[in-house]
Amino acid sequence: MIEYKKTVKQAKIRSPLKSFEEETITFEYRADPLTGRNTTIIKERSNYAGSFLNSDPQQLNALVEKTKATCPFCPESVGFKTPMFTSDFLAEGRIVSGEATVIPNLLGHAEQSILAILSKKHNLRLDEFTPKLLLDGFSGAMKYLQRLHEVDATVKFPVFAFNYLPPAGSSIFHPHMQVLVRDRPFYLTDLTLQKSKTYADTNGSSYWSDLTATEKEGERYLVGSGGVEWLVPFAPLRGMNEVQAVVSRKSSFMELGEAQWRGLAEGISKVLQFYHAQGYGSFNIVAMSGPMDEHLDYFDVNLRIISRPGIQQWCFTDSWAAPYLLWDGETVEEPEALAEKLRVFFKTT
């Protein structure tokens, strides 16, 4: 069964911001129900941290114009500035899917690493990531994965990753998605698979089915669409404004149909609309799959999305020591409060 464990601790200081009156700061420690990983919620820091998530419009516009001049992903350059697949893998050299173009990654992060260029526009506001744009990217990426599976079935552990704008780790402004595939799972995928198997062996049920069933009765659930359940995790994994999706009873990307991909695309678009409304402009997404060559009853495809700092004159990163080196999660808003704000966006058509 799903267990939600949390502990509340407090610290007292005399704050110079309140004429040195005594102030109580609350720290809430939450354990991830699957892995046990700790996340600290520091509610009193939400206003402070939130100010770093907004972008300075002048700084952003200046960087957009500067990077556009040499962008390899813009329509006038993509044909001669981006790599092509080898002829034995794909005779056409590149995959075109609607507005998306799929290419090999010039500087990949795995033995099989590709990019899906998502838009002809060099820069998008977050509310411009439409479901159609995302679906084109997913469709092109799946054509690549299907071809890869035909050529070499041993390379079977894929992840989809979005790093949008430099604060999220992207070296290219132009909207794109990465697909990384290895013959071994990434660490978090491996940990999640192992913990999911242990949970099933112990409880006789799937953690992911139990999770979504439990969350539907609580404060953090958002919506279900196309077999995809959207929620705010009890103990956020990494960063700010984290939202999670679970694709029910589908353990690999190869099992997803049009309804599931649309459910993911529509949900991502809603979350990005919310981020935009808050003034945020940068984000990360990771979607994890089980092995492409088998079905696992104990694992469901799942996705996480977080907002990242904005583009400002002074560099700021939210990858501080605790999450980056100590592997502890940290956030500044209760997941239940975030879910309440997000739910408005998921209710809109």
Report the 3 state secondary structure along 115-154: EEECCCCCCCCHHHCCHHHHHHHHHHHHHHHHHHHHHCCC
Distance CA 241, CA 334 (A): 10
User: Per-residue pLDDT tens for 152-210?
Assistant: 999 999 999 999 999 999 999 999 999 999 999 999 999 999 999 999 999 999 999 99
* Residues contacting 291, CB < 8 A, separation 6+: 156, 157, 252
| Alpha-carbon dihedral sign for residues 174, 175, 179, 180 | positive
Please give the pLDDT value at position 348. Answer: 66
Match 């609607």 to its residue by tokens: 98
3-state secondary structure of 28: strand
106-136 b/e with 16+ CB inside 10 Å = b?
Answer: eeeebebbbbbbbbeebbbebeebbbebbbb
What local confidence, expressed as pLDDT, does residue 47 receive? 66
Residues in the chain where the model's pLDDT stays below 70: 44-50, 348-349
What is the topology classification, in CATH, of domain 55-311+319-347? HIT family, subunit A (3.30.428)
Q: Which token pair is 2? A: 């799903």
pTM, two decimals, is 0.96
> Which phi and psi angles does 222 have, rounded to 5°?
-110, -65
Q: Quick one: pLDDT at residue 320?
A: 78
Q: In the chain, which segments carry CATH 3.30.428.10?
A: 55-311+319-347
**pLDDT given for residue 2 in this prediction:** 94
Task: Give the rounded distance of the alpha carbon of 182 from its chain centre.
Answer: 19
Q: What is the pLDDT of residue 316?
A: 76
- Reading the block at residue 344, the tokens are 């408005």
Would you tell me how many other CB atoms lie within 10 Å of the CB of residue 21?
A: 10
CA torsion sign for 76, 81, 82, 85 is positive
